[in-house]
Amino acid sequence: MSNMDFNFYVNDVVNPARQEMDEAGYTQLSTPEEVEDTLSQDGTTLVMVNSVCGCAGGIARPAAAYMKNYEKKPDRFVTVFAGQDKEATDKARSYFTGYAPSSPSFALIKDGQIQRMVERHEIEGHEPIEVVQELEKAFDQHCE
């Protein structure tokens, strides 16, 4: 793949996926230090592991955006980008104890500990509302 092709790919596919999460109000974590600083805080954090696959764009990102409107919310909404910010994603996944790497996915972290993971197999082939319902259950259980 030539450098020009790669840059086109990044601009055409990755940047809109990042922008979608920015517009949804999620904070992009692009370094392991940002991930550590955020996920080690007290309180709750929803981590959306973003990716360029179709189920991220058609299901996971719309569900992520919708969750900003739910009455019970985590303290923080953040995202890491699998395949793009590798070190940040690896650091986030180190908090997802007992779960294999999965993207797209959602992790609800409370006081540095994984509370609920919505893995790719619970996203791909499902409707966005089904993902939303799983996240709502997790927010109801773990968020103030």
Catalytic residue numbers read 53, 55
Which amino acid does the sequence have at 20? Answer: E
Q: Is 62 helix (H, G, I), strand (E, B) or coil?
A: helix
Are residues 110 and 144 in contact, defined by beta-carbon separation less than 8 angstroms? no
CA distance 48 to 56: 10
Which DSSP letter does residue 136 get?
Answer: H
CA distance 18 to 48: 11
